[in-house]
Structure 1
């Protein structure tokens, strides 16, 4: 009986969590309709609410924005908009920082995580998977040993939080696995092994 109970849980738990996450995401996107004037909201026009409509409209707006911003005219509009924001003292610092991070993470040429590495953390003899994110800034590098790299050590099972470290390159081991495979291994707490030669080597 225990065997069948565990088998049933293995079927239902991933499905239930997936549905819960999707519902949470759709409900969050549906709240974007609150940005519209009350008389323009679909619930006021139709007399009833349609679950998921806000999510669909949000995705549509984002898609159309990307479509417009990809052509010559749209790029000019974006440049003009950024020029205006760059003249506002407080907004300038916030917008430029967020844009730099988003370009790195989401841009087609962005490389937020360059390589999967092994480093000794949190102490010598304990190893964890980290990701190389770049090199220390010039001012910081002058106070560090030669040839250091920036690394991000994600937490498990939520890799969006973690620790930023600067370590000597000689103390890192470059792994022969893709960033995606390394992230899956981290999220699964080591339960899901990375595929062999996942970098295509």
Structure 2
């Protein structure tokens, strides 16, 4: 058995390795756009299923109930008739024997194409409302405008003293007292407050600090000059540092460290974020200890091309 393992063809191993590497490289390239498309499709289907569809159903049913002109029967009309005049209006009979105005019936029939007509007069009016006023190119912008107005007036109301007092009281006495809801609501509120808070965290500079233990350096963003009690106890300047986590720097740890125990780095905030998100792969040029192999190959090829061009120029002049 051992001899069989040692006799493995290196070409097969190398071929499988190259194949796997190519597949993983292709997956790394294709995964981000595919996942982005999947996420957007999921968001769209969720909005359509749980927001658009219920709103459209409610609006369609309400409008159809208000404007419907449906008669169970018309006077002086034989049972076999499917078209009759009543009160200076032409009516058409539906499958269940109800009568609706012919203009409504024909409008729905034209838009249904090959689909069967609704059996009831109320169903005809629902389809009429859907095709007349509830087209997606009209409902989506209208819903978006209504949501913006609702958020605007809600924000204006809660910004005032009375509105904020009512909302805080409802949170205190209702949301924070329900056994299961209070846990979910509290977590969601913390996330939304962090993402939507107008007072954004201001990072002043990038530092390196020995965290979580001596000899292990972490990148951090200075947010403030720490607390007065900590500064007095330390006997020297102390700074508050946010230590972000990779590869999602939106979360992290807040620590307080002596200013003398930190190193101020010569990199920008964007470069620090790139370093953290890439898990240390993307290093700022001014902080690289040595050039990357790819960069070295590019420089070598450029120098080789310059030499070739310098050799070709005299030959062209002699020609």
Distance apart, 1:30 and its partner CA:
6.3
Residue pair 1:119, 1:171 contacting (<8 A) in 2 also:
yes
How far apart, in 2, do the equivalents of 1:147 and 1:196 lie? 28
The structure-2 alpha-carbon separation of the partners of 1:30 and 1:159, relative to structure 1 and needing over 3 Å to count, comes to farther
Distance apart, 1:196 and its partner CA:
5.6
Distance apart, 1:15 and its partner CA:
1.9
Highest Rg: 1 or 2? 2
TM-score, normalisation: structure 2: 0.42
Do structure 1's residue 42 and structure 2's residue 123 form an aligned pair? no
How far apart, in 2, do the equivalents of 1:21 and 1:143 lie? 50
How far apart, in 2, do the equivalents of 1:173 and 1:31 lie? 52
Do structure 1's residue 180 and structure 2's residue 270 form an aligned pair? yes
Higher helix share: 2
3-state SS in 1 of match to 2:208: strand
How far apart, in 1, do the equivalents of 2:146 and 2:251 lie? 29
Alpha-carbon RMSD = 4.4
* Residue matched to 1:138: 228
3-state SS in 2 of match to 1:5: helix
Distance apart, 1:79 and its partner CA:
2.7
3-state SS in 2 of match to 1:143: helix
TM-score, normalisation: structure 1: 0.61
The structure-2 alpha-carbon separation of the partners of 1:147 and 1:65, relative to structure 1 and needing over 3 Å to count, comes to same
Do structure 1's residue 78 and structure 2's residue 159 form an aligned pair? yes
The structure-2 alpha-carbon separation of the partners of 1:102 and 1:5, relative to structure 1 and needing over 3 Å to count, comes to closer
Residue pair 2:158, 2:167 contacting (<8 A) in 1 also:
no
How far apart, in 1, do the equivalents of 2:22 and 2:210 lie? 41
Listed as ranges, the gaps of 5+ residues in structure 1 are: none
The structure-2 alpha-carbon separation of the partners of 1:30 and 1:187, relative to structure 1 and needing over 3 Å to count, comes to farther
Distance apart, 1:117 and its partner CA:
1.6
Do structure 1's residue 113 and structure 2's residue 203 form an aligned pair? yes
Distance apart, 1:158 and its partner CA:
2.5
Question: Which protein has greater RCO, CA pairs closer than 8 Å, 6+ apart?
Answer: 1
Q: How many residues align?
A: 177
Per-residue CA deviation, residues 59-113 of structure 1 (Å, 9 max, x unaligned), is 97358746x79xxxx768623333544667948xx8xx96xx649x753x63343
